[in-house]
């Protein structure tokens, strides 16, 4: 089976409800997602977009599965770089589980293609994004380096 995939896990001292809000509410998302604006109606089959701060569509797709405070599956394709866009759609799964006094967040990002450049690319992006999400939820402040869009993109 040819796939490119990673699985990232982070424990955050919060509740599933607060984490869900931080993942879906654009006001929170831009603070830890390099200033990106996330748009979706959050219903199965609804479109999903991540826009750069200056309004270009960076990634797009649709909501494949949604179970508030539990699970979100997105169909996800990069739009800015032609070679990455040409790789087609990936699947991103967020799973939220209560774990004692914290919440375990598991992010799986995968594509049915060996050695995907896009999966390589996002595997550099998720660790700072997730660390920043954790800082934002636990301290009220995200990490400085994740507040603005990278210049080269």
Residues contributing to the site for other proteins (CB under 8 A): 3, 5-11, 106, 108, 123, 126-128, 130-131, 134, 143-145
Nearer to other proteins, 5 or 75 (CB): 5
Nearer to other proteins, 41 or 144 (CB): 144
- Closest separation between CB of residue 7 and other proteins, Å? 4
Nearer to other proteins, 24 or 93 (CB): 93
- Closest separation between CB of residue 109 and other proteins, Å? 11
- Closest separation between CB of residue 86 and other proteins, Å? 23
- Closest separation between CB of residue 106 and other proteins, Å? 7
Structure tokens at 89: 């759609």
Nearer to other proteins, 44 or 127 (CB): 127
Residue count (the chain) = 153
């Amino acid at each position: 089976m040819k796939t490119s995939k990673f699985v990232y896990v982070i424990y955050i001292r919060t509740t599933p409800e607060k984490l869900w809000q931080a993942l879906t509410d654009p006001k929170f998302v831009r603070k830890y997602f390099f200033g990106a604006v996330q748009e979706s109606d959050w219903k199965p089959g609804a479109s999903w977009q991540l826009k750069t701060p200056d309004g270009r569509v960076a990634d797009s797709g649709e909501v494949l599965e949604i179970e508030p405070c539990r699970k979100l599956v997105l169909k996800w394709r990069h739009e800015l770089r032609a070679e990455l866009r040409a790789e087609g759609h990936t699947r991103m799964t967020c799973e939220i589980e209560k774990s004692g006094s914290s919440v375990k967040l598991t992010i799986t990002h995968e594509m049915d293609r060996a050695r995907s450049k896009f999966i390589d690319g996002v595997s550099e992006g998720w660790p700072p994004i997730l660390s920043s999400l954790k800082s934002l939820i636990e301290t009220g402040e995200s990490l400085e380096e994740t507040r603005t869009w990278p210049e080269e993109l």
